[in-house]
Structure 1
């Protein structure tokens, strides 16, 4: 039986809830085959790392941007460090904090994958209008805010 038949009769919220998990798995699998030499989660960490223009972030700062736990970000960062893409160094003012410093090897990787990243995004959003993308983004931002509230116990 195909999935659309199985979903018949479910409300849209339940279907969306399930799709979030399915998308997570599918996005990771597609990204892992798309980027040579790096996993999609590692690539996502490097994208988030590039958002910090004025300083090298701590693991905690990066985990906040990524929406992931400190432990998960640390595991991903450890693998990137072993492969020479980043350095993990103690903060100069607070040795308990660990800063993530990009290396030249990471810069080379980003240049290598620049066209692949553009192609991946084009293929991912193929067939969607700019309006559909904007509406989806607005809805996802609201859902993320709700998730943060739930996680923090505010609702």
Structure 2
């Protein structure tokens, strides 16, 4: 495979070429980091999807979210989130229950066992995160932080538009 620096040189001639290169690289980096994270989580018997879901459930909501809210946050299907959550519940990492006001809604919350796992992993996780970005200066890290936030915002808009189009609703930017 062509090295990233060599490929980058071939794509640097226009905004479209740079956007194509960046999109491809975002996908490749995501795949590679997922592989690394899976390997690091393997001894604890948790997958990258379970890890991400636990982080979102524990930190992304003020009150215990519904499965659909988590699915929306993860840009995933209700069915897929339910399947992952069921597996986590069987292993004691997630608690699922029916909403008291609307029994059709299933709420979810990480358990003390899940919180303990994250606490036990904290030092290893910090080292892993630092290693993923060790080739960036503090200034580059700050710039990346701002750029990623802008990219995520735009991705969220496009995702909502695609969902609306798929369901027959039209949504404007």
Where in structure 1 are there 5+ consecutive unaligned residues? none
The structure whose Rg is larger is 2
**Dislocated runs of 4+, deviation >3 Å:** 3-8
Q: How does 1:2-151 map to 2 (within 5 A)?
A: 2-4=2-4, 5-6=6-7, 8-10=9-11, 11-35=17-41, 36=43, 37-52=45-60, 54-151=62-159
Aligned: 1:152 with 2:160: yes
TM-score by length of 2: 0.78
Where in structure 2 are there 5+ consecutive unaligned residues? 12-16, 162-171
Higher relative contact order (CA 8 A, sep 6+): 1
Number of aligned pairs? 155
TM-score by length of 1: 0.86
